[in-house]
Amino acid sequence: MILPALEAYDVSIPVVVVGAGAAGLCAALAAKEAGAEVLVLERDPVPRGSTALSAGLVPAAGTRWQRAAGIEDSPDRFAADIMAKAGGEPDPAEVETVTRAAGPALEWLADAHGLDFSVITDFRYPGHSANRMHGLPSRSGEELVDRLREAAERAGIDILCDAQAVALHAAPDGRVTGLTLRRPDGTEDMLGCGALVLACNGYGGNKDLVRQHVPALSDALYFGHPGNQGDAILWGAALSAATRHLSGHQGHGSVAHPAGILITWATITEGGVQVNLEGRRFSDEGHGYSEQAAKVLEQPEGIAWTVFDARIAGIARQFEDFRQAEAAGAILAADSIPALAAATRLPEAALRETLGQVEHLKATGGTDAFGRSFAGVPPISPPYRAVRVTGALFHTQGGLAVDSGARVTRSDGRAFPNLFAAGGAACGVSGPHASGYLSGNGLLTAVALGRLAGGGAAALATPP
Ligand SMILES: Cc1cc2nc3c(=O)[nH]c(=O)nc-3n(C[C@H](O)[C@H](O)[C@H](O)COP(=O)(O)OP(=O)(O)OC[C@H]3O[C@@H](n4cnc5c(N)ncnc54)[C@H](O)[C@@H]3O)c2cc1C
């Protein structure tokens, strides 16, 4: 809801950030570093967001971790990969902005705030032409958000939890002068601001908006943070801000079911395949996990089995999620195809035929009927592993259009006077389709635009 600007507010803060996920916390750290007083508002009792649910992997090109590992990469190459995955649909200026900003942002988080990133070298997600995923030691988003929150606390940034922004107050020229926040007991406060950063992610938790913009996943499991209700795009639309690619999203075709645990796509890229309940493959899994969500949901009962082996499980085990899935008993083990068929209750003959075809294609470097090339894909062999999975919606990628300083713009490209957006609140770089999502596009715009938004908001709110 947008309300008229008030004459006076209960209290005024130079920079206010809505949302304490990766985007909001990076924005707050950058604003504070630039000399502004900052307040972060978070609707939950503790900052978690979708960031905590993620694998916490942030793509960046030309980093010192890549150089140390001998990986050749550059922002231009990264930008080309993003554009190729999304069929040239993303805004090239935004792609350039975030691919250039991501590496320096990660090095800043390491140097100024002690986040010990490293680059993943033992597998690569589809569409990336270089190893450029960076993560903290546990490879979990929970660690990422916790470390960012600790850094914010050390920097003296106030994070007000249990504080939901429910309305913005704006002047006729679009300047946001403050907001109304609501506490769990229903009391409301009016807070003034010099600049506002929207870091409250997209609309994945809002069933009506999902039905409207991503109908293929309207009945799918939503695996992101339920508090992400689309407030940024609803406020933006009411202010006549430009929104873009609202149908863009990250799906995932490998969420253990019913355990509800993310199974890393390394299970596929390292040589695994997905079969349906008939023991048959149904797609080119090599395109990526995002578009695979809808394909899995089209199968009988909306279920697939991801079949891989013990070697791949060893790689996947670097992820906290995978370790949890193993502990929960979701990863089945079998020494032979008959044992695998018995454990999964898949028809043995079909499973044997499917795996035989796949291994033959790997041995001959062939391409299957779905278009997946198996050239150079490692074989799988007993002991096998298998996990029962379904497709899910992870987060939405469309959002508010922003300029190269993360300022929210109108449809004619003019920026609002003091309004910024980052992370899932801003339009991402995946275009309008699930297939446009290149792994890491989510945290990419959270970290890169978050830092830019915070610095820009501080410069506006605290002029020299
Ligand atoms: C299971 C899963 C795995 C993923 N893995 C990866 C990965 O490895 N790499 C990657 O790049 N991306 C990944 N993503 C996507 C990534 O998590 C998101 O793109 C990213 O976390 C977005 O960050 P954010 O700060 O914009 O949003 P969030 O982390 O969701 O933070 C938004 C915060 O805003 C708060 N909020 C919302 N509305 C209000 C309001 N009105 N007032 C106050 N607070 C509000 C919410 O409570 C929330 O804490 C994954 C997502 C999921 C669900």
Atom of ligand 1 nearest to the CA of 443: 11
Domain spans in the chain, listed from the N-terminal domain onward: 2-244+399-461, 249-393
Rg (CA), the chain: 22
pLDDT-based confidence at residue 463 (cuts at 50, 70, 90) = low
> In this structure, how many other beta carbons lie within 10 angstroms of the beta carbon of residue 166?
14
- Could you tell me if the CB of 164 is within 6 A of ligand 1? yes
In sequence order, the 6+-apart residues with CB closer than 8 A to the CB of 160 are 39, 40, 41, 42, 181
Mean pLDDT of 11-15: 97
Q: Residue 254: CB within 6 Å of ligand 1?
A: no
| Category of 156 on φ-ψ map: left (φ > 0), alpha (ψ -120 to 50) or beta | left
What atom in ligand 1 is closest to the CA of residue 52? 29
Nearest protein Cα to ligand 1, atom 14:
54
Distance 199 CA to ligand 1 centre (A): 9
Confidence at residue 323, expressed as pLDDT on a 0 to 100 scale = 95
The answer for 137, left when phi > 0, alpha when psi is -120 to 50, beta otherwise, is alpha
CA dihedral 41, 43, 48, 49 (to 10 degrees): -100
Query: Do 236 and 226 contact (CB within 8 A), yes or no?
Result: no
pLDDT at position 410 over 80: yes
Q: Is 20 in the pocket of ligand 1 (CB under 6 A)?
A: yes
Residues in contact with 418: Cβ distance below 8 Å, sequence separation at least 6, in sequence order: 175, 176, 193, 194, 195, 196, 457, 460, 461
Give the mean pLDDT of 269-290. 95
Q: Is the CB of 167 under 6 A from ligand 1?
A: no
CATH architecture group of domain 249-393: Alpha-Beta Complex (3.90)
Give yes or no for residue 51 CB within 6 A of ligand 1.
yes
Q: Is the pLDDT of residue 116 over 90?
A: yes
Average pLDDT value for residue range 292-298? 94
What single-letter amino acid sits at 412?
Answer: D
The amino acid at residue 335 is D
Other C-beta atoms lying within 10 Å of the C-beta of residue 195: 28
Q: Is residue 261 in contact with ligand 1, taking CB distance under 6 Å? A: no
Query: Average pLDDT in the 305-330 region?
Result: 95
Residue 302 pLDDT exceeds 80:
yes
Average pLDDT over residues 134-139: 94
Ligand 1 centre from 51 Cα, in Å?
Answer: 4
Strand duo 118-119 + 38-41: pairing: unpaired
d(CA 416, CA 173): 8
Q: Which stretch of 98-102, 123-127, 173-177, 307-311 has the lowest confidence by average pLDDT?
A: 123-127
- Written as one string, the DSSP assignment of 310-371 is HHHHHHHTTSHHHHHHHHTT-EEEESSHHHHHHHHT--HHHHHHHHHHHHHHHHHT-B-TT-
229 Cα nearest atom in ligand 1: 38
- Over residues 19-25, the mean pLDDT reads 98
Sign of the CA dihedral with 398 first, then 55, 24, and 413 last: negative
Nearest CA to ligand 1 atom 41: 165
Atom of ligand 1 nearest to the CA of 44: 47
Distance between first and last Cα of the chain:
33
Residues 37, 41, 44: CA angle, nearest 5 degrees:
150
Q: 202 alpha carbon to ligand 1 midpoint, in Å?
A: 8
162-216, pLDDT tens digit by residue? 999 999 999 999 999 999 999 999 999 999 999 999 999 999 999 999 999 999 8
Q: Residue whose CA is closest, atom 5 of ligand 1?
A: 54
Q: Token match 């873009």: residue?
A: 244
Q: Which of 16, 18, 51 to mutate to test the pocket of ligand 1 (most atoms within 8 A of CB)?
A: 51
Tokens of 105: 């942002």
54 lines ligand 1 (CB under 6 A): yes
Substitution site in 200, 320, 389, 400 for ligand 1 pocket (most atoms within 8 Å of beta carbon): 200
Return the ligand 1 atom nearest residue 25 CA.
25
Give mean pLDDT, residues 365-386.
95
Residue 366 Cα to ligand 1 midpoint, Å, equals: 39
403 Cα to the center of ligand 1, angstroms: 21
Contact between 386 and 279 (Cβ < 8 Å): no
pLDDT digits (tens, 9 = 90+) for 218-272: 889 999 999 999 999 999 999 999 999 999 999 999 999 999 999 999 999 999 9
50 lines ligand 1 (CB under 6 A): yes
CATH superfamily of 2-244+399-461: FAD/NAD(P)-binding domain (3.50.50.60)
- Split at pLDDT 50, 70, 90, the class of 286 is confident
- 379 pLDDT above the threshold of 80: yes
Q: Indicate which atom in ligand 1 lies nearest the CA of residue 223.
A: 53
